[in-house]
Amino acid sequence: MTMETKVLGNSDLALTRIGFGAWAIGGGDWQFAWGPQDDNESVAAIHRALELGVNWVDTAAVYGLGHSEEVVGKALKGSAHKPYVFTKCSMVWDESREIKRSLKQIRREAEESLQRLQVESIDLYQIHWPNPDEEIEEGWATMADLVREGKVRWIGVSNFSVAQMERAMKIAPITSLQPPYSMINRSIEAEILPFCEKHGIGVINYSPMQSGLLTGSMTKARAAAFPKDDFRRNAKAFQEPQLERNLKLAEFLGELGARHNVSAGVVAIAWTLSKSGITAAIVGGRSAKQVDGVVPAAGFRLTEDEVTEINSYLISHP
């Protein structure tokens, strides 16, 4: 299956409009987990996404404390498809599984990620979080060194502000930004998206379905029954009064999607992709069935009238 692609920032990476996000497949038993996950289901989900034409996988060292990268590496070894592989650094952990933020260990992190992913170079290496803020320059200089050494092909940032990107750009170009962006979280629209467009920085947004809230399959009962190691139990968007409002938004998106025989989640993803500054969206999948449900977002396009209809709904339901 051939999908439309868009070049990411200043790179030579032509990305399908959605990529496979590997956060949830890190499994449970860590601070930002999505609850227990079967590795075989994860491998099947990645294989299904690649079979359907998705050409990039996004993970991070911290997802499952190394486990997500291992699963991605295993899946790619067992596939004839060779997608771009993206990962992230800056969240490190110790023997007690305690996570700390550091930009001083990036070189070691990169070496360990290469081993877990079983690749010779990382196509896009990203600083996961700009913490500690005072280490940004040192960390970004290390990232630039990794490019010169061939361990990394392109470098990007995630969750950075405009001011933080400006500081990094004085040291080396930024290929991409990875921010959260969905109908529920639109904070990047005011300053960050215009800045990236102006400076040719590609944007790959994460959580376009707000961690499952806008898929059309989330319910109050399901949210109440999350396992104790699912980070969403404590997320404000999954708690009242926000939960009811967000589920009504998902219901509205489902009604709009029904006109085209696509899910609420596909509409939610397509809405983010309708923004000119967005290169592509990261879409998680915990099973081949879930992947089948969201892959239509790679080709589905909302009409201008439908985008206006959604925006009017968002304005009238703040």
63 catalytic per annotation: yes
Q: Round to whole Å and give the CA distance between 208 and 273.
A: 9
Q: Which two tokens stand for residue 294?
A: 């969201």
CB 34 within 8 A of CB 222: no
CB 175 within 8 A of CB 202: yes
CB 196 within 8 A of CB 173: no
Backbone angles phi, psi at 98, to 5 degrees: -80, 130
Q: Round to whole Å and give the CA distance between 149 and 143.
A: 10
Q: Round to whole Å and give the CA distance between 118 and 139.
A: 24
Q: Round to whole Å and give the CA distance between 190 and 258.
A: 31
Catalytic residue among 63, 84, 181, 206: 63
- Strand duo 14-16 + 5-7: pairing: antiparallel
Catalytic residues: 63
